[in-house]
Structure 1
Amino acid sequence: MPVFSKNFKLGLLGGGQLGRMMLQAAIDLDIHVKALDPDPNAPCAKIAPEFVCGSFLDFDTVYAFGQDCEVITIEIENVNLDALKKLQSEGKKVFPQPEVLELIQDKRIQKQFYRDHQLPTADFVLTDNADAVAANVDFLPAFNKLGRGGYDGKGVQRISSAEDVHLAFTEPSLLEKAVDFAKEIAVIVARNEQGECKTFPTVECVFHPVHNLVEYLFAPADVSEEISEKAKAIAIETAEKLGIVGLLAVELFLTKDGEVLINEVAPRTHNSGHHTIRANHTSQFEQHLRAVLGLPLGDTTAHSTAAMVNLLGEDGYSGDAQYEGMSDVLSVAGVYPFLYGKTTTKPFRKMGHVTVVENDLAKLKEKVDFVKNTLKVIA
């Protein structure tokens, strides 16, 4: 069925903020989206043309959900793969493909894929339990990462020496050699069913020192053209070797001696691409839609230098969200807040983000500091 037919339907597993921004891009293309999420108050619930409240982890729910969809996609990778495989076997298009999601869902398998396909990544050891971590003290310092279930810094524990081994995970995990990096950078690449690939400009991410999630980013990254092109080439090679259809966010380490190493990937729209809604000719959300629907990929050129600040719930506040300093932020040119429709805040919960567009780098950094110091989510 043609994408722009009145009966065409795109199924979306997940109704969070990524889905909400994808829906906003879908409205521009008049694409009918049906979303599934277990939370009746999920960010997508009020704006999706169709919203189903149910678990994207339950086989029967996902299988039934996909019956009247021509294409099924995701905004979260932790979904029921058996249901997606069955839908795929019955002729439904599922992008990214279930086999790609299966590989990426488990960091152990993901890291082994990089090694097997000669993709640059930090050295690692697979560990089945805490005893296996203790047996590899010579490998330290390293990061102990859960194979499954980790996100936004959860499921990651630094093990610096034998004294830290008691912190190791008891579940199957891996030890990843600590990298002495100069910067953390990221590239988002899109690949459609025809094999066309396009990357967004390389960005530089700054992580929260305690909670290990992106606090803010700058686009483009302050790196040489050679490093930027190397990062983009790695992202394209990774997408092609995976065979993914859709968006792939590739998080990378830039080491102090100029190496570029893959940290992790996400097979979906990603925090490192939120600024593209205002700063690039095509946003990551529109690009994902173009990729999974078999449409030509859009122009990813940036029309301005930009930054993105994550809007996190303030420490010490839980309850009905209030936005302190919003009027002050809205009065500044080139500053664009995006709120995710979450009515309840709690410490460090992602409640929105702010994109700052400004070609003067010094002014850009001033505006970022202003946003960080002014706009607060309290209760």
Structure 2
Amino acid sequence: MNYFSSDFTLGILGGGQLGKMLLYETRKYDIRTIVLDPSADAPCRIACNNFEQGSLMDFDTVYNFGKKADVLTYEIELVNVKALEQLEKEGVKVFPSSKTLRTIQNKATQKLFYVDHEIPTAPFTRFAYTSEILPAMEHEALSFPFVWKSTQFGYDGMGVKVIRKAEDLNELPNVECIAEHMIPFKNELAVIVSRNVSGEVKTYPVVEMEFHPEANQVEYVICPARIDESVAQKAQEIALKVSNAIEHVGLLAVEMFQTEDDHILVNEVAPRPHNSGHYSIEASYTNQFEQHLRAILDLPLGKTNSKLAGIMVNLVGAEGHFGDVVYENIEDIMKMDGVTPHIYGKRETRPFRKMGHVTIIHEEVAEARKIAQKVKETINVISKNN
């Protein structure tokens, strides 16, 4: 099929920053795109050929939108899976498939999938409601501390909480959830696996992630990860095992824990471009967004090696700030060599909302990390009225 400068149409479900960065690549190749998102102000609205506003969880909205596309992909997992299944039955190509999304969309289903396929993961207990946890603890089926996770609708640190005492459960929603054992770990790692329709597979280097202690959001992504080669090899092998089991098409970001004794445990996965791959825009031969496009269109996969060490710093809304956004001191970081800001196009900030990211590239990862720290301390995402 001729994808370039033609009537071929790629549909994207979700119009956020991941979709916007994917559209950089469709523009490069002159591929026609349509986007569906619930927000009229979605970042994708300015870069696609046609933008539609509507719910991603409504069957009819997703189905009717999908019928206009030759290939359909998504930048967020909160999508009506039944609509995707019906579209596939009627010949629309959906990548990653509805089967992949159904496996991943519910965290309990995802964890059970790991158990069934002998993929190492932290022990857990599944509950129909949060209110069932305390009775279970009274019968010694669970003990403090543990990690509570909502099985659905969690993102960017939402729907996850460390529970150290009974009172920590009080403010949680009474929803289906899992209680996961707290794992002592050295590092949080991630590997992105790309797979095209024909089955060609490539992995990106292992990255290391540093998280904000309160918001449970990634603050820094460091590539290459500062770990032993043997640990990196183990992480790559486990990421490939997950990818082979799920049989996805597109990108699969596999988030993992490196334990104190250097075992690798899978935390969770995302079947799309991912925060852990943003460094690749400046640092890699083929960035993750172009690679996703190549994979879902069954084009040859690009080289995944890094040209230089790369670090990504998340730009999130400062605490106490709501309203029209101001990127304070952005000119100062733009004076630094190897520093590139990416602004997502969200006009209003709020505490911990992802508003952009900054990539730092350098010959030495240690020096890149120092510059990243300076960037983090310099730029502030605030509001006009504060």
Q: Which residue of 2 aligns with 1:217?
A: 221
Q: Which residue of 1 aligns with 2:15?
A: 15
Whether 1:154 and 2:183 are equivalent positions in the alignment is no
Q: Give 1:162 shift.
A: 4.7
The question of whether the paired residues in 2 share the 8 Å contact of 1:157 and 1:167 is answered with no
- Judged with a 3 Å threshold, the aligned counterparts in structure 2 of structure 1 residues 99 and 361 are, in CA distance, closer, same or farther, namely closer
Q: Which residue of 1 aligns with 2:306?
A: 302
Structure 2 Cα separation of the partners of residues 6 and 162 of structure 1: 59
Q: Which residue of 2 aligns with 1:99?
A: 99
- Matched residue of 1:210: which SS? coil
- Judged with a 3 Å threshold, the aligned counterparts in structure 2 of structure 1 residues 56 and 129 are, in CA distance, closer, same or farther, namely closer
Whether 1:293 and 2:297 are equivalent positions in the alignment is yes
Q: Which residue of 2 aligns with 1:86?
A: 86
Q: Give 1:157 shift.
A: 2.0
Whether 1:276 and 2:280 are equivalent positions in the alignment is yes
Q: Give 1:135 shift.
A: 3.4
- Judged with a 3 Å threshold, the aligned counterparts in structure 2 of structure 1 residues 67 and 162 are, in CA distance, closer, same or farther, namely closer
Q: Which deviations, in whole Å up to 9, do the C-alpha atoms of 1:336-373 show, x marking residues without a partner?
A: 00000111111111110000001223321221111001
Letter in 2 for 1:47: A
The question of whether the paired residues in 2 share the 8 Å contact of 1:217 and 1:307 is answered with yes
Matched ranges for 1:1-379 at <5 A = 1-4=1-4, 6-137=6-137, 138=140, 139-140=142-143, 141-162=145-166, 164-166=168-170, 169-379=173-383
Q: Which deviations, in whole Å up to 9, do the C-alpha atoms of 1:248-292 show, x marking residues without a partner?
A: 111100000010000010111110000100000000000110111
The question of whether the paired residues in 1 share the 8 Å contact of 2:311 and 2:359 is answered with yes
The question of whether the paired residues in 1 share the 8 Å contact of 2:195 and 2:202 is answered with yes
Structure 2 Cα separation of the partners of residues 361 and 307 of structure 1: 8
Larger displacement relative to structure 2 (202-211 or 189-198):
189-198
Q: Give 1:195 shift.
A: 1.3
Structure 2 Cα separation of the partners of residues 228 and 120 of structure 1: 16
The question of whether the paired residues in 2 share the 8 Å contact of 1:192 and 1:246 is answered with yes
- Judged with a 3 Å threshold, the aligned counterparts in structure 2 of structure 1 residues 92 and 216 are, in CA distance, closer, same or farther, namely same
The question of whether the paired residues in 2 share the 8 Å contact of 1:246 and 1:268 is answered with yes
Structure 2 Cα separation of the partners of residues 202 and 350 of structure 1: 23
Structure 2 Cα separation of the partners of residues 369 and 241 of structure 1: 38
- Matched residue of 1:158: which SS? strand
Percent identity of the aligned residues? 47
Letter in 2 for 1:96: P
> Normalization by structure 1: what TM-score?
0.97
Letter in 2 for 1:82: K
Structure 2 Cα separation of the partners of residues 165 and 69 of structure 1: 44
Structure 1 Cα separation of the partners of residues 305 and 219 of structure 2: 24
* Structure 2: runs of 5+ lacking an equivalent: none
- Matched residue of 1:311: which SS? strand
Structure 1 Cα separation of the partners of residues 261 and 338 of structure 2: 36
Q: Give 1:313 shift.
A: 1.0
Q: Which deviations, in whole Å up to 9, do the C-alpha atoms of 1:302-337 show, x marking residues without a partner?
A: 010110000111111111111111111111110000
Q: Give 1:130 shift.
A: 3.2
> Normalization by structure 2: what TM-score?
0.95
The question of whether the paired residues in 1 share the 8 Å contact of 2:5 and 2:30 is answered with no
Structure 1 Cα separation of the partners of residues 131 and 20 of structure 2: 43
Structure 1 Cα separation of the partners of residues 353 and 172 of structure 2: 25
- Matched residue of 2:6: which SS? coil
Q: Give 1:161 shift.
A: 4.2
- Matched residue of 1:102: which SS? helix
Letter in 2 for 1:9: T
- Matched residue of 1:136: which SS? helix
The question of whether the paired residues in 2 share the 8 Å contact of 1:63 and 1:84 is answered with yes
Structure 1 Cα separation of the partners of residues 182 and 280 of structure 2: 31
Letter in 2 for 1:321: V
Q: Which deviations, in whole Å up to 9, do the C-alpha atoms of 1:224-261 show, x marking residues without a partner?
A: 11111111111111111111111111110000001000
